[in-house]
Amino acid sequence: MLGLALSTPAGAEARDISRDTLAPNDGWAAADGGTTGGSTAGRSAGGAAMGGGASAAPSWLVAPPLSASLERGDPHRGGAAYRYSPAPLRGAAEPLRDISRDALPPNDGWAAADGGTTGGSTADEAHVFTVRNRSELVRALDGGSATPKIIKVAGTIDANTDDDGNRLTCADYATDGYSTREYLAAYDPRTWGSAKPSGPQEEARQASAARQAERIELTVGSNTTIVGLADARNTAVLKGASLQLKGADNVIIRNLELRDAYDCFPVWQPNTGGLGDWKTAYDNIWLRGATHVWIDHVTVSDKGHPDEKEPTHFGRNYLRHDGLLDITNASDLVTVSWSRFADHDKAMLIGNGDTATGDRGKLRVTLHHNEFESVVQRAPRVRFGQVHLYNNRYVVPADAHDHRYSIGVSTESAIYAENNAFHTPGHIEAADLVKSWNGTALHQSGTLFNGYPVDLLAINNAYNSGSERDLTADVGWTPTLHTKIDSAATADRAVARGAGAGRVP
């Protein structure tokens, strides 16, 4: 049931008008004794009007408290007119809760280990910032310093802007004679072959890419909390930005939408097999050697520029985006919770190389209560890490452009997956959900596939035995750091309602 919320200009103060009577001489209703309404009604102990022995009105009939005075909002006195509007389902009439000093709760995944994750919760008031544009955000980040800091993002911040806030396009970044048309002509495999691109156009591409990177790559240092001032009515968005956590420790990112980390200058990477691919540079969030990181209630997508709408060059899709969230280079002790990853190709990579043996013993990550919707692959793909994957929701829409797999089992990965729910159209089978490259094991239990319980491990081994080695169920560890693990069905409903930015309880 929707309530009716009375809205008025910001700053108006509430005044109780419930016992007001009609002013003298205010029209015909002032005649013959005037009009007083229920102003003489008695009160119950709880304060509600309770005339005689009548019972209180049911809660769904009671209007919410008025949020303004008539004097401040009366349009006849220069104020804005009142208007009734449906109250949001999540109680947006309440003030936005300040989550900026929250720490990760105990036992909430790998980021709770070894002292936990507190972000910038100890920041002094001089290092608490509310930012509304790129320049303010850059100043608040302080070059990636380790000083405890809290950064509150208000509204939409576009990283592709100059210091005066003017929008920058790909043409503004292009330099040294770079041209997409000339680049394509120079490195067409039919004439260039399979050699790595070199020469004037590749050099110009690199110089142009460096100009864009200078604007959109934003370094996040240790002891930092970044939160969006987002709720059911307000959004907090980082558009076109790539948050870079390089060797950072103790970072929290919450209640924020990150969208469209668009690469203006993809590079062509040929190979000896005759086909190459387009390589892009920017993840919306990239952890490299980062530790103790909590990412919660974020929404990450390609919103505005889906790669499937890009043209094809050299027989390959002209990609503009890399990962939504990549966790690489021995990053460790990470929890990703109640977040939404959508409308993207390669969503999440944990471990970026089969030969990166320095990742052994690292890449410990918990993913819980997240939604992956319209994601082609890597949800996630894992190398080396001990990854706990529980109570997540996967949705492949009927009109999805492509789907390759959801869970990628790669070199020395140890994925413990339990109580996850998958929704797919008829042409996507349970055997399409897991893909293995040199993987050896996958623990799975409690999986729901279109509402039915399935054993992903048994299905994978039965359907892919001809092309991949069978996976065992022994991943060598059992998670101990986690919140309550619900059934897949219960979690599925909760995640559909509660994952993503603007939905922090």
* Helix boundaries (H) for 45-90: 70-73
Q: Exposure pattern of 196-232 as b/e (b: 16+ CB <10 Å)?
A: ebeeebbebbebbbebbbebbbbbbbbbbbbbbbbbe
Opening angle at CA 392, ends 389 and 398, nearest 5? 130
Contact assessment for residue 145 and residue 227, using Cβ atoms and an 8 Å cutoff: no
Contact assessment for residue 407 and residue 385, using Cβ atoms and an 8 Å cutoff: no
In 3-state terms, what secondary structure has residue 158?
strand
Q: What is the rounded distance in angstroms from the CA atom of residue 43 to the CA atom of residue 160?
A: 59
Q: What is the rounded distance in angstroms from the CA atom of residue 421 to the CA atom of residue 94?
A: 32
Which residue is it, tokens 């490299």? 288
- Residue 460 host element (H or E): helix 456-463
Residue 142, sorted as left (phi over 0), alpha (psi -120 to 50) or beta, turns out to be left
- Tokens describing residue 134: 């790129």
For 247, what's the count of Cα atoms within 13 Å in the CB-facing half-sphere? 3
Q: Exposure pattern of 490-499 as b/e (b: 16+ CB <10 Å)?
A: ebbeebeebb
Contact assessment for residue 300 and residue 340, using Cβ atoms and an 8 Å cutoff: yes
262 secondary structure, DSSP code: -
Q: What is the rounded distance in angstroms from the CA atom of residue 323 to the CA atom of residue 300?
A: 10
Annotation says 378 is catalytic: yes
The end-to-end CA distance of the chain, in Å, is 20
73 backbone dihedrals φ, ψ, rounded to 5°: -110, 0
458 backbone dihedrals φ, ψ, rounded to 5°: -65, -40
Catalytic residue among 205, 259, 364, 378: 378
Active-site positions?
A: 378
